[in-house]
Amino acid sequence: GVMPVKTLNFLELLRSAWNNVHWAARTRYVALGDKIASSILAQSANVPTLPWNGMDVRLEGAMDQVAAGECITVPEDVYSRGCIHSMQEGLAAAKKIGFPVMIKASEGGGGKGIRKVKSEEEFELAFHQVQSEIPGSPIFIMQLAHNARHIEVQIIADEY
């Protein structure tokens, strides 16, 4: 089978191999590829998101930057406000959002670093499982999307 590409090294190889293709700036790729940063960017552009622990985090002036054609990055301090830093902070966020929730590692994928939690009693164990599956990954909590289907489309294109 084909292994999914999750590293910037592949992008760099393609960039050097195909001189006639204009690739997105590295910072754009990183921001859109990160679950927390992309949620912050989406809600800063008034795109609806599921309730999550970073619902109040916004990038000031993001729409002006987009209109000016500028590259948007998520500063570390803003990014950190979208992260859960402890089990207790995560539990408080889950209570605020309302159960059931998903505990997600931003760097997770393929079923690793994600847990559905139906109640407060299940939260601590699930949180530690997510931490141990993707060590060092930023974690966030979001409302469970009931009866959802996952469809992912990746497009490589030029400025048009």
pLDDT digits (tens, 9 = 90+) for 119-134: 999 999 999 999 999 9
Q: Which of 8-12, 97-101, 112-116 has the least mean pLDDT?
A: 8-12
Answer yes or no: are the C-beta atoms of 47 and 20 closer than 8 Å: no
Q: Which helix (H) or strand (E) holds 131?
A: helix 120-133
* Rounded Cα distance, 123 and 138, in Å: 17
* Model pTM score: 0.74
